[in-house]
Amino acid sequence: MKLQRFEEMDPHLLVGLVNTELRNVSESLDDLVKTHGIEQDKLVSRLADAGYDYRPEQRQFR
């Protein structure tokens, strides 16, 4: 799945994809959004609407 289409994804699937990317590929949330060409504010907002908050110290959404 391509993260560029994150606005169309189920947020519970999306959080798993994003956390996997953060754990295995990207060095940070900034790196992830730059790599995939997506807007960080929109991604964070989409996940926050589903009840997930970004935890920078853990580099994951919970």
pLDDT digits (tens, 9 = 90+) for 12-44: 999 999 999 999 999 999 999 999 999 999 999
pLDDT at 61: 98
d(CA 62, CA 55): 7
d(CA 30, CA 40): 7
Residue 1 has pLDDT above 90, yes or no: no
Residue 2 has pLDDT above 70, yes or no: yes
With contact defined as beta carbons under 8 Å apart, do 44 and 6 qualify?
A: no
Quick one: tokens of 14?
Answer: 């999306």
Quick one: tokens of 42?
Answer: 């929109």
d(CA 9, CA 26): 20
